[in-house]
């Protein structure tokens, strides 16, 4: 599996895939839907899949002395690696905003989602949606990816809109806690987002393995 990951990182990934990890810094932006940072990270992954398809990566991988399941596993592990890197960057920014910038007026007056642990849980949810909708859709054919990505765009922005709107309801204003306010709830929401990501990714991976086994390359 180490060699498969090296192939994914050095031969399959587009440089854009790595550069778009930096969109995690969007968690610094006030007055902007910060969860779009998670979407742009997945956009970079999508560009990497386009790059790999034009290089006939799937056909090349199928010729290697590995099982089809390992081909799928390599893709999922690489995607999770990129998502994990972006999430760590978002976490670093969120912690800066929750500590050093806790008294910043520009953030205190921000009408949109604050960069807190709930926002990180939301980012994990967006990544989980990508793994289910796009990755799962891609491995139905191992070639077509336009339709799965368009569906992902629609679904992910529906989630972003809903998550951004939740704290505007009076009884849900606690979701937009600033700094370390309601930290217990924030941690719980982050763990819920993490659990959703893990479950969605594992279910998508298993379905992709079954679908890819049926494809005659």
* pLDDT tens for each residue of 72-128: 999 999 999 999 999 999 999 999 999 999 888 888 888 899 999 999 999 999 999
* pLDDT tens for each residue of 25-84: 999 999 899 999 999 999 999 999 999 988 888 888 877 788 889 999 999 999 999 999
The pTM score is: 0.95
pLDDT the model gives residue 5:
85
CA-based nearest residue to 175, from 106, 105, 216, 116: 116
pLDDT the model gives residue 210:
95
pLDDT the model gives residue 217:
63
CA-based nearest residue to 156, from 130, 175, 195: 130
pLDDT the model gives residue 215:
83
Reduced 3-state DSSP string for the chain: CHHHHHHHHHHHCCHHHHHHHHHHHHHHCCCCCCCHHHHHHHHHHHHHHHHHHHCCHHHHHHHCCCCHHHHHHHHHHHHHHHHHHHHHHHHHHHHHHHCCCCCCHHHHCCCCCCCCHHHHHHHHHHHHHHHHHHHHHHCCCCCCCHHHHHHHHHHHHHHHHHHHHHCCCHHHHHHHCCCCCCHHHHHHHHHHHHHHHHHHHHHHHHHHHHHHHHCCC
Residue 216 has pLDDT above 80, yes or no: no
* pLDDT tens for each residue of 130-189: 999 999 999 999 899 999 999 999 999 999 999 999 999 988 989 998 888 999 999 999
Task: Give the residue carrying structure tokens 């998502």.
Answer: 83
In the chain, the percentage of residues whose pLDDT exceeds 90 is 71
Rounded distance between C-alpha atoms, residue 24 and residue 40, angstroms: 9
């Amino acid at each position: 599996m180490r060699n498969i990951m090296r192939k994914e990182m050095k031969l399959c990934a587009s440089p854009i895939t790595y550069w778009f990890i930096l969109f995690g810094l969007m968690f610094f932006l006030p007055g902007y839907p910060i969860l779009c940072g998670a979407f742009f990270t997945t956009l970079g992954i999508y560009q990497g899949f386009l790059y790999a398809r034009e290089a006939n990566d799937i056909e090349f991988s199928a010729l290697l002395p590995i099982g089809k399941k390992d081909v799928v596993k390599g893709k999922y592990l690489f995607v999770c690696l990129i998502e994990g890197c972006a999430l760590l960057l978002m976490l670093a920014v969120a912690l800066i905003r929750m500590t050093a910038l806790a008294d910043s007026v520009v953030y205190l007056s921000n009408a949109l989602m604050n960069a807190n642990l709930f926002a990180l849980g939301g980012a994990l949810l967006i990544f989980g949606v990508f793994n289910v909708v796009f990755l799962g859709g891609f491995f139905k054919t191992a070639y077509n990816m336009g339709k799965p990505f368009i569906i992902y765009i629609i679904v992910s922005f529906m989630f972003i809109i809903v998550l951004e709107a939740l704290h505007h309801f009076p009884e849900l204003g606690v979701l937009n806690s600033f700094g370390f306010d309601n930290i217990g709830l924030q941690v719980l929401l982050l763990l819920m987002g993490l659990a959703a990501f893990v479950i969605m990714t594992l279910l998508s991976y298993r379905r992709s393995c079954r679908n890819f086994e049926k494809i005659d390359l």
